[in-house]
Amino acid sequence: MAVKTQELKLDIERIGTVSAILTQPDNARACYVLAHGAGADMRHSFMGKVAAGLAERGIATFRFNFPYMEKKQGRPDQPAVAHATVRAAVEQAAGLCPGVTLVAGGKSFGGRMTSQAQSKALLPDVKGLAFLGFPLHADGKPSTERAEHLAGIAIPMLFLQGTRDKLADPGHLKPVIKALSPKATLHEVEGGDHSFAVLKKSGRSNDEALTEVLATLAGWIDELA
C-alpha cells in the first residue's frame, strides 16, 4: 500500500500558524486527528510509530503541534488555545480527507484537550474520540476531576490504557468508564505504562504492545463506520 506524507501548515484563527503532518495511505478509509502529549511534539518516535502503524492498516493520521511546542516553550498552552488548535486541525483534516470516517484524540494531554474541545462545542464531522493514555490525574495523585467533562460528550470514546499507567489508576478509571457506558470503551494493555511500554519480564516487546494498541484502535474505528 502506497503512503503519502505531506508536511503542512495549520492556521489557527487569531493565534498563529503551526506545523502539521498528514500521513495518508492510498484509499484511506478513515483519518485520525492525532494530538501530541505535553512533553513531546508531533515528531516524537511514538507519534511516528502510531502514524506508520495506522497507515499500514489503511487509516490516515493528521498530526500537528500545539503553539507552545511550535515555539519551543516549556509550559503547555492555556486550554482555550489548545481547544482552538484542535478545532483547526479537525477542520483541515476533514478537508484533506473528504468522505472518510473522522476520529480525533491523541496522546495524554493531546487527548484530554481534544475531549475538552468536544465537550464545549461539537467537533464537526468527528464520529468518535480515541485516547492513547488518558491522563486521568497527576502522577501519584489519583482523582477523577479531569474526567468530569466527559459526561457531556455524546459520541463514542475509546480509552487505550496501560495497566501500569501512573496517570490513570485503574481503581479510579474503571468507575469513570462504567459511568460513561455504553458510549465509552476501555481497552487495557496488560503491563503497559503511560506510553504502553512493558517490562522485559512480561515476555513481549514494546512494539508488540503498541501493535495491540493499533489493532484495537483500527478495529474500533471500523466499527464506527
Q: Is 148 exposed, middle or buried (0-12, 13-18, 19+ CB in 10 A)?
A: exposed
CB 102 within 8 A of CB 31: yes
Position 225 scores a pLDDT of 83
For 3-156, strand residue ranges (E) read 3-12, 16-25, 30-35, 59-64, 101-107, 126-132
Position 136 scores a pLDDT of 98
Distance CA 55, CA 133 (A): 20
Q: What are the grid coordinates assigned to 151, written together?
A: 459526561
Q: What are the grid coordinates assigned to 97, written together?
A: 480527507
Residue ranges in the chain modelled with pLDDT below 50: none
CB 211 within 8 A of CB 53: yes
Measured CA angle at 41 (ends 38, 44), to 5 deg: 115
Distance CA 118, CA 27 (A): 27
* pTM score: 0.97
- Tell me, what amino acid is at 43? R
Structure confidence by residue, pLDDT tens digits, 109-134: 999 999 999 999 999 999 999 999 99
The CA–CA distances, whole Å, from 148 to 52, 153, 167 equal 33, 10, 16
CA 212, 218, 220, 223 dihedral sign is: negative
Structure confidence by residue, pLDDT tens digits, 81-99: 999 999 999 999 999 999 9
Q: Is the peptide bond before 135 cis (omega within 30 degrees of 0)?
A: no
